Amino acid sequence: MHENKETEKYIENIGIQESPHRLWQGRFSVAPMLDWTDRHCRYFHRLLTKQTLLYTEMVTTGAIIHGKGDYLAYNKEENPIALQLGGSDPQALAHCAQIAQERGYDEINLNVGCPSDRVQNGRFGACLMGEAELVADCVKAMQDVASVPITVKTRIGIDEQDSYEFLCDFIDTVVQRSGCNIFTIHARKAWLSGLSPKENREIPPLDYPRVYQLKKDFPQLTIAINGGIKSLEEAKQHLQHVDGVMVGREAYQNPSILAHVDHELFDSSIPVVNSVEAVRALYPYIEQELSKGTYLGHITRHILGIFQGIPGARQWRRHLSENAHKLGADISVVEQALAMVTERM
C-alpha cells in the first residue's frame, strides 16, 4: 500500500497548500470541459501546478437541487477551484451558489458560452448572450448570497449578433446591473444552430484582437481570454493584453504543459514539476479511490497524455488503454506502464 505521506511530501515540495478563499486566481486556468475535468482529472492537474485555477465541468442547477448524486464533490487538494454553473433561474442559481460557497469553492462561474442544443433547451449557455439583463439578474442573485467571486464565461457573439458593439452592450449591461467585474471570453462566436459543440470550438474564427479591445475599453474589468491556445509562449503573448489565460483541450491532452505553468507564468524560482514524480504522487489517491469502488480506467484516462513527445509514451498509453478497464485492474497496471517510460530515460 502506498502511504499518503508520499503524496504529502510531494505536495509540500512543490508548495501546494490547502487554499483559503482569495481574490481571483485566474492568471492561468484550465477550462471547464464536460466529461473531462472531473474530480480525478483535477486532482492530477493539481499535482502538476499549484497556481492554476481549476474549473469543474459545467453542473446544472437542476442536477444540484434535484439530482440523486453529489455533483459538488471534490477533494480539498484541488483548491483553488471554481464551480461552473449552468442555469438561468436567479433563485435556483443563488441557492446553488450558497451551497457551493459552504462547500469551499473559491469561485462560482456562470456558463454563457456553451452552444449545445440540450443547453439551449434549458435556456442557458451561449443563448443567454441574447438576454443580458437576465444574465445580470442571475449574477446579482448569486452575489447577494455568496462572498466568493461570481464570474461569467461567455463568447464574443452568437449567430448574426456578432458585432463588437453587441459584445460591448452585453458586457456593459451585465456590469451596470450586477457589478460583475470578472469575465472569461472565448474568442469565437457561437452558432446556436447548424454546428455541433465540437464544431463551435473549431469553425467560427478566433478573434483575439476583439478581446484585447474589450480590455482596453473596459480597463476596470478583469478579462481572461480562451480559445485555441496551445502553448505557454502563446499564453505569455496574450497576457500582454489581458489579465488571464484559460486553456482547454491542450491542457487536457498534453497535461505536461501544466508542469511548467508555475515556473513560467508565476514565479521562476518554482521548479518545473517532474512528470514521473507527479504520476507516482498519484498512487495513494488511486489506491484510495479503488478501495471505494472506482474503476482504474476512470482515473487513468486523464493521465494518458502526460508523456506526450517522450520515448515510451506510446507504450504507456497503450498499456493503460488496454488494461486499466479490466476487472480487478489495480495500481500495478500504472506501475507497469510507467516502467515503459522510465526504462527509456
Q: Within 10 Å of residue 46's Cβ, how many Cβ atoms?
A: 23
32 is in an annotated binding site: yes
84 is in an annotated binding site: yes
153 is in an annotated binding site: yes
249 is in an annotated binding site: yes
186 is in an annotated binding site: yes
248 is in an annotated binding site: yes
Catalytic residue among 41, 96, 114, 180: 114
What's the rounded Cα separation, in Å, for the pair 48 and 338? 17
SS (H, E, C) the chain: CCCHHHHHHHHHHCCCCCCCCCCCCCCEEECCCCCCCCHHHHHHHHHHCCCCEEEEEEEEHHHHHHCCCCCCCCCHHHCCEEEEEECCCHHHHHHHHHHHHHCCCCEEEEEECCCCHHHHHCCCHHHHHHCHHHHHHHHHHHHCCCCCCEEEEEECCECCECCHHHHHHHHHHHHHHHCCCEEEEECCCECCCCCCHHHHCCCCCCCHHHHHHHHHHCCCCEEEEECCCCCHHHHHHHCCCCCEEEECHHHHHCHHHHHHHHHHHHCCCCCCCCHHHHHHHCHHHHHHHHHCCCCHHHHHCCCCCCCCCCCCHHHHHHHHHHHCCCCCCCHHHHHHHHHHHHCCC
What's the rounded Cα separation, in Å, for the pair 343 and 5? 26
228 is in an annotated binding site: yes
What's the rounded Cα separation, in Å, for the pair 148 and 145? 9
312 is in an annotated binding site: no
Active site annotation includes 114: yes
The cell numbers describing 153, all together, are 464565461
130 is in an annotated binding site: no
Binding-site residues, in ranges, read: 32-34, 84, 153, 186, 226-228, 248-249
Active site residue ranges = 114
Residue ranges for the binding site for FMN?
A: 32-34, 84, 153, 186, 226-228, 248-249
